[in-house]
Amino acid sequence: MIAQLRIDDRLIHGQVALVWTKELDTPGIVVANDNAASNEMVQMTLKMATPTGKKLLIRSVDEAIKVFNNPKGKGMRMFALTNNVADALKIAQNVDDIDGINVANVGRFADNSEGETHQVGSTLMLSDSELAALKELVKLDTPVFQQVVPSNQKASIASMLKNK
């Protein structure tokens, strides 16, 4: 079961490693990212950023979906991370047991070759395709919100998208 699926373009960093892992109290982190799954340097960096005592799985998006749907893991709470909206949408469409989707930090470091960027909240700068994927994500049954750190109030992504 996914306690939280967080979309964060930095994947594991200080907020995630020090704050969210304690807040969610999950035994492990699953990074669902095709690039990270195939890049040893990225894997090494993510392992170094993982808090002591937490298990880390780095899988492609398709392999992560298999992990999340594996009956052996149904009772285990997992903190899932991906760095883009399209991957989160694919996971949410293929995994039933997700408590919430936190669209935290997207597009701040991206080279947007698609053209116009849509600012949705202070830490979400979305391309046209990301905005379309986010609109699809909020149509699903899982709560979709923005909460950069636990001390922030949850902001409804559906409300943030009303004028987009």
Using alpha carbons, select from 81, 95, 87 the residue that is nearest to residue 136: 87
Q: State CA 133 to chain mean position distance.
A: 13
Kind of pairing, strands 2-8 and 78-82? parallel
Q: Which residues, other chains included, contact 83 with Cβ-Cβ below 8 Å and sequence gap of 6+?
A: 7, 8, 9, 10, 11, 33, 106
Residue count (the chain): 164
Predicted pLDDT at 117: 86
Look at residue 126 and give its three-state secondary structure: strand
pLDDT of residue 109 exceeding 90, the answer is no
Which residue type is seen at 164? K
Which sequence spans correspond to the domains of the chain? 2-159
Predicted pLDDT at 121: 82
Asked if 28 and 79 count as a contact pair (C-beta separation under 8 A), the reply is: yes
CATH class, range 2-159: alpha beta
Lowest mean pLDDT among 17-21, 93-97, 106-110, 156-160: 106-110
Which residue type is seen at 77? R
Q: State CA 74 to chain mean position distance.
A: 19
Predicted pLDDT at 114: 60
CA dist., res. 93 & res. 41, Å (int): 30
Band (pLDDT 50/70/90 cuts) for residue 113 is low
46-81 tens-digit pLDDT: 999 999 999 999 999 999 999 999 999 888 999 999
86-96 tens-digit pLDDT: 999 999 999 99
Catalytic residues: 13
CA dist., res. 153 & res. 65, Å (int): 29
CA dist., res. 21 & res. 28, Å (int): 8
